[in-house]
Amino acid sequence: MADFPSSQGGPASPEVAAYVESLAGELARLARSHNLATLAYLLDMARLEARNIVLSHTPDDGAAERQT
């Protein structure tokens, strides 16, 4: 597991959000595979929120949005 300090010296918010997006996606798949539908849904919502943060910090050339 990555260890991210709370603020100083740690990665910027987009990097943390990308990490959270990845983990939430994996956890949602795990929850879904064990019929934990509500938990999977909540994890998907967290994943989407993290994705929005990543996209909001991406240069506005449109390339990142077209690839997803």
Tell me: the pLDDT tens digits for 7-60?
565 667 999 999 999 999 999 999 999 999 999 999 999 999 999 999 999 877
User: What's the token pair of residue 45?
Assistant: 């919502």
Please give the pLDDT value at position 7.
59
Please give the pLDDT value at position 18.
97
What is the domain extent for residue 23? 13-62
Residue 31 lies in a domain: yes
Q: Which residue has the higher pLDDT, 67 or 22?
A: 22
Q: What does the CA dihedral 34, 36, 41, 44 come to, rounded to 10 degrees?
A: -40
Using CA atoms, how far residue 39 sits from 21, 36, 44, 66, in Å, is 15, 6, 9, 29
Give the span between the Cα atoms of 64 and 66, in whole angstroms: 6
pTM above 0.85, yes or no: no
Please give the pLDDT value at position 12.
76
Residue 54 lies in a domain: yes
Return the closest-CA partner of residue 25 out of 3, 4, 40, 37.
40
Residue 5 lies in a domain: no
Please give the pLDDT value at position 4.
59
